[in-house]
Amino acid sequence: MLESLSAFIADYGYLNLFILSFLASTVLPFGSEALVVALVYRGFSPLAVVLVATAGNFLGSCTTYYLGLKGRHVLERYLSPSPEKLEKSERLFNRYGIYTLLFTWVPGIGDVITMVAGLMQLPFRSFSVLVFLGKFGRYFALAYSVVFLSN
């Protein structure tokens, strides 16, 4: 069993990482960090792992942003975020502005931040740059921590 799981990771590592990272940046309760660590530890290119995870996570966030653009009724129908998380994210935006998007990688509130960015109709260009930088920074720190600690 463990041997087949290891082979599956080796054969489809980047594809699995992309899919898991994409899903993890929606409101689905997935995390991609363990797979990032496993791939880097197994000798996959840290830079490639970072880029694949960032791309998947970023595109998942863009999906959530788009649903936010469509309005609360769409969010409530498809994602059903808690009113408390939406209010908390709106307060963060009102207090810190668009730079809140740098923290979309934070578990628990990151996905809601992207929803609120869509609801507030923030410009996609600003959204894209800040969300990509935040997610890239997280995966870069994680992957290169594994490299540093395994040497």
Q: Tell me, what amino acid is at 116?
A: V
Give 19's pLDDT tier (boundaries 50, 70, 90).
very high
> Tokens representing 1?
């069993």
| Percentage of the residues of the chain whose pLDDT score is greater than 90 | 44
Residue 5: is its pLDDT beyond 70? no
Residue 76: is its pLDDT beyond 80? no
Of 84, 102, 105, the residue nearest 31 (C-alpha):
105
Residue 85: is its pLDDT beyond 80? no
Give 131's pLDDT tier (boundaries 50, 70, 90).
very high
Mean of pLDDT values over 48-59 = 97
pTM of the model: 0.84
What pLDDT sits at residue 10? 67
Report the distance separating Cα 115 and Cα 94, nearest Å: 14
Report the distance separating Cα 20 and Cα 36, nearest Å: 10
- Listed in sequence order, the residues at least 6 apart from 19 whose beta carbon sits closer than 8 Å to its beta carbon are 56
Q: Tell me, what amino acid is at 147?
A: V
What pLDDT sits at residue 7? 67
Give 8's pLDDT tier (boundaries 50, 70, 90).
low
Q: CA 66, 108, 16, 13: dihedral to nearest 10 degrees?
A: 130
